[in-house]
């Protein structure tokens, strides 16, 4: 996947020194801070799994989704993931896409592959979600579940209309790259 740098990124210019954002290879990067960010994120993900198992033992799935312990850990994961993005951006000048989710059928059969007379294209829906007081304790991270459910509904509607949806995914903060879409962009 290619990321072109533009002025629409919502970060300040303090990380845009010529070395990290230059066209020359970047050497002698100390990876310790980057690994520390990954370790903190991994530890929080492990804590999330342990907490989720405990909360699920106490409540049903809907109640567990909105449990304050779960919401706090989801917010922490989001914060740490943003911190990792910023660290990679500041030190390497890269715009990493680490938060997207894509589901692919592991046992794809021949009916999902395109024949010579079939055509395909990728479609994207963009949403800008704003958390309001009416959302209560729900975080923007929980909005991704709603978006995912909506994407599943759209997928089902397309299948019922006679189309085949061979891949789909949802992401927060960036569009999802599906199949050979990246290859198509490189050809242009």
Quick one: pLDDT at residue 107?
Answer: 56
- ∠ Cα 175 166 103 (to 5°): 55
Please state, in angstroms and rounded to a whole number, the distance separating the CA atoms of residues 182 and 43: 32
Which whole number is the average pLDDT over 61-76?
90
Give the residue with greater pLDDT, 46 vs 90: 46
Calculate mean pLDDT across residues 6-11.
43
Where is 118: in which H helix or E strand? none
**Each residue of 156-168: pLDDT tens digit?**
889 889 888 888 8
pTM above threshold 0.85: no
The CB-based long-range contact list for 84-88 (8 Å cut-off, 24+ gap) reads: 84/34, 84/37, 84/38, 84/41, 86/11, 86/15, 87/33, 87/34, 87/37, 88/34
Q: Which band of pLDDT confidence, cut at 50, 70 and 90, is reported for residue 14?
A: very low
- Output the pLDDT for position 152: 84
Check residue 47 and give its pLDDT.
Answer: 96
Element (H, E) at 169: strand 168-170
Q: In the predicted model, what is the mean pLDDT of residues 51-72? A: 92
Beta strands in 100-165 (DSSP E): 101-103
Q: Who has greater pLDDT, 95 or 45?
A: 45
């Amino acid at each position: 996947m290619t990321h072109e740098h533009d002025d629409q990124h919502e970060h300040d210019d303090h990380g845009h020194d010529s070395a990290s954002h230059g066209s020359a290879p970047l050497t002698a990067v100390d990876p310790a801070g980057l690994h520390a960010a990954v370790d903190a994120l991994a530890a929080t993900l492990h804590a999330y799994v342990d907490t989720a198992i405990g909360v699920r033992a106490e409540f049903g799935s809907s109640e567990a989704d909105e449990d304050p312990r779960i919401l706090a850990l989801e917010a922490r994961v989001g914060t740490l993931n943003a911190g990792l993005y910023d660290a990679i951006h500041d030190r390497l000048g890269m715009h990493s896409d680490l938060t997207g989710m894509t589901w692919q059928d592991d046992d794809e059969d021949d009916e999902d592959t395109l024949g010579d007379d079939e055509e395909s294209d990728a479609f994207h829906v963009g949403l800008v979600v704003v958390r309001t007081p009416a959302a209560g304790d729900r975080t923007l991270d929980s909005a991704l579940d709603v978006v995912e459910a909506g994407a599943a509904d759209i997928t089902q509607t397309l299948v019922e209309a006679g189309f085949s949806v061979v891949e789909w995914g949802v992401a927060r903060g960036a569009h999802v790259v599906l199949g050979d879409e990246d290859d198509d962009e490189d050809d242009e």
